[in-house]
Structure 1
Amino acid sequence: MLIGLLTAVAASICYGTGSVLQAVGSRKAARSSDAGAGVTQHGGPNLASTAKAAMTWEFIVGTILDFVGFGLGALAARLLPLFLSQTVISANLVVTAVLSVKMLGIRLTRKEWTSIGVVCSALVLLATAAGHEGGHHAAAATHWWLLAVTVLIIGGGTVAVRFLGGRAAILAGLLSGLAFGALGVGVRILDGVEPFSLGALLADPALYAIFLAGTGGMYLHTVALQIGSVNGATAALVVGETVLPGAIGVLWLGDASRPGLAWLAVLGFVLAVAGAVAVAWFGNHEGADPEAAADTRTDPPVPVP
């Protein structure tokens, strides 16, 4: 349990730091582009603008941290109940918010700090109440369903972002969270891991759901960072990344709390998600210092209609 928690915390730090660096890279790319360039007719970023953002050194380092976070998160998903591992990992929003103060010039309000405190307290409650993780086995049909749902999330999200343009920030963040949640479920039920079997691994649809969810989720999160606030996009990701995987872990994979502490696990889970959403709800860039604020507000990531 302790190793799993430390692994999940490390993954959270990697993801949170990576999100801020990716936001910095996205904004740098936007500042170097002509106004109106790199957008679809609906105001959203096209693939070229997203690729340009991905070529900045900040974005590259952030992506490397995401990959490290992915590896650590995958290990945590195998060691902890999903409602605990996914929630701890999703606490990267706290890391994102704190680093935003320095790197994006954002000044957090008292309500935001209070919300961050709620998230941290909720994680302590969850860690206290969590029992051992359930099994890693799921019916073959579940593996195929996971792949199909992942294709729907990524495909539908890509189309929605193209047509909704600048209005798709929260939706893109939410869908990227669902994709990362699917990734966590896929890692949990992946065949051919224990004991290792390359044939079983390659034949498992969950393996391809993991790759699709990881790459597609990263793309949607990048788009969300381009057209919305970093805290808002990450908070929407938190909801998608925690609620559904946590429910799947409890209902179908046998995850459970310690005897008599189910109420504490539910309370911690609800407070963690509510606190993460509150960080975004109360978050704004108006508290940024003048120079940083001018840097981020006068050069919007993507023109919005």
Structure 2
Amino acid sequence: MIIGLVTAVAASVCYGTGSVLQAVGTRRSAREEVAARGAGAGATEHGGPSLSSTAKAAVTWEFIVGTVLDLIGFGLGALAARLLPLFLSQTIISANLVITALLSIKLLGLRLKQLEWISIGVLCGALVMLAVAAGPEGGHHAAMSFHWGLLIGSVVLIAGGSLIVRRLGRSGAIVAGLLSGLGFGALGVGVRILNGVDPFDLAQLLGDPALYAILVGGIGGMYLHTVALQVGSVNGATAALVVGETVVPGIVGVVWLGDTSREGLGWLAVFGFVLAVVSAVGVAYFGQSEAEEHGAQPKLPERAGL
């Protein structure tokens, strides 16, 4: 349990730091593109970022370092997902919102509203409740139909979500953050049920649909999170991600994988879980104006071509 907790906290720090560095890279890329090509550069007809602008943001040094930290966080988070109940591991990892908020003040020059600080404080309290209430993790086995369902669901989620977010344009930041969180949530579930890990069996590992669900959820989630950072608040987008990667894996762990709380503390686990989600939503809601106040992306016209 202790190793799992330490691993989840370390993953949270990596993810939080990575998000802010990625936000720095996307904003610098957007400013440079506008300076080079004029207002409206890198926008789709719906006012959102084009695929080319997202690709350019992804090759800035800040974004690359942030991505490396995300990969380290992924490895640590994968270990935590196999050592702890999913509702605990995913929620602790989602506390990267706190790291993101603190670093965004220093690196992005943001000023958080009082209600955002309150929401972040409530989230920290909720995490303590979950840590106290968490019992032993459940199993790692799930029916093969569940593995296939996870893969199909991940593909539909990422493909359909990408189309929806592109049509929403600049108003799609929170939706993109939520969908990216669901992608990372699918990744967490996939890691938990992955066959061929213990004992290691390469053929079984490569033949497991959950492995490809992990890849789809991870890569697709990273793309959607990048889009969210391009068009919206870094704290708001990260908070929406927190909701997506916490709720679904937590429910799956309890309903299908046998995750439990300590005897007599089920009420505390449920209360802490709900409180964590509500507080994350609060950060997303109260931070919506941050993007416009501080310029997540230079102002784009309503309809602009490449």
Q: TM-score range by the shorter chain?
A: over 0.9
- What TM-score comes out, normalization by structure 1 length? 0.94
Which of 260, 263, 266 is the equivalent residue of 2:264? 260
1:223 aligns with 2:227: yes
Structure 1 partner of 2:18: 18
Are the aligned partners of 1:106 and 1:287 in contact in 2 as well (CA < 8 Å)? no
1:202 aligns with 2:206: yes
Structure 1 partner of 2:43: 39
Structure 1 partner of 2:277: 273
Are the aligned partners of 1:170 and 1:233 in contact in 2 as well (CA < 8 Å)? yes
Identity level (%): 71
Structure 2 partner of 1:133: 137
Structure 2 partner of 1:176: 180
Q: 1:207 to 1:301 in 2, by over 3 A?
A: farther
Are the aligned partners of 2:233 and 2:291 in contact in 1 as well (CA < 8 Å)? no
Structure 2 partner of 1:5: 5
Give the letter aligned to residue 199 of structure 1.
A
2:112 and 2:277 mapped to 1: Cα distance?
A: 19
Shift of 1:166: 1.2
- What TM-score comes out, normalization by structure 2 length? 0.94
2:209 and 2:297 mapped to 1: Cα distance?
A: 40
- Residues 255-304 of structure 1, C-alpha deviation per residue, up to 9 Å, x if partnerless? 0001110001011111111111212222266699xxxx7xx43x734625
Q: 1:66 to 1:268 in 2, by over 3 A?
A: same
Task: Structure 1: state its 5+ residue gaps.
Answer: none
Task: Structure 2: state its 5+ residue gaps.
Answer: none
Which of 223, 227, 237 is the equivalent residue of 1:233? 237
2:75 and 2:150 mapped to 1: Cα distance?
A: 20
Give the letter aligned to residue 50 of structure 1.
T
2:173 and 2:119 mapped to 1: Cα distance?
A: 22
- Residues 174-209 of structure 1, C-alpha deviation per residue, up to 9 Å, x if partnerless? 110000000000000000001110010000000001
Aligned residues: 298
CA-atom RMSD, angstroms? Answer: 1.6
Shift of 1:115: 1.5
Give the letter aligned to residue 144 of structure 1.
W
Are the aligned partners of 1:18 and 1:63 in contact in 2 as well (CA < 8 Å)? yes
Q: 1:168 to 1:285 in 2, by over 3 A?
A: closer
2:243 and 2:297 mapped to 1: Cα distance?
A: 26
1:303 aligns with 2:305: no
Q: 1:304 to 1:205 in 2, by over 3 A?
A: farther
- Residues 2-23 of structure 1, C-alpha deviation per residue, up to 9 Å, x if partnerless? 1101100110111011111101
Shift of 1:110: 2.4
After TM superposition, list the pairs within 5 Å mapping 1:27-176 onto structure 2.
27-34=27-34, 35-176=39-180
1:22 and 1:258 mapped to 2: Cα distance?
A: 38
1:280 and 1:37 mapped to 2: Cα distance?
A: 27
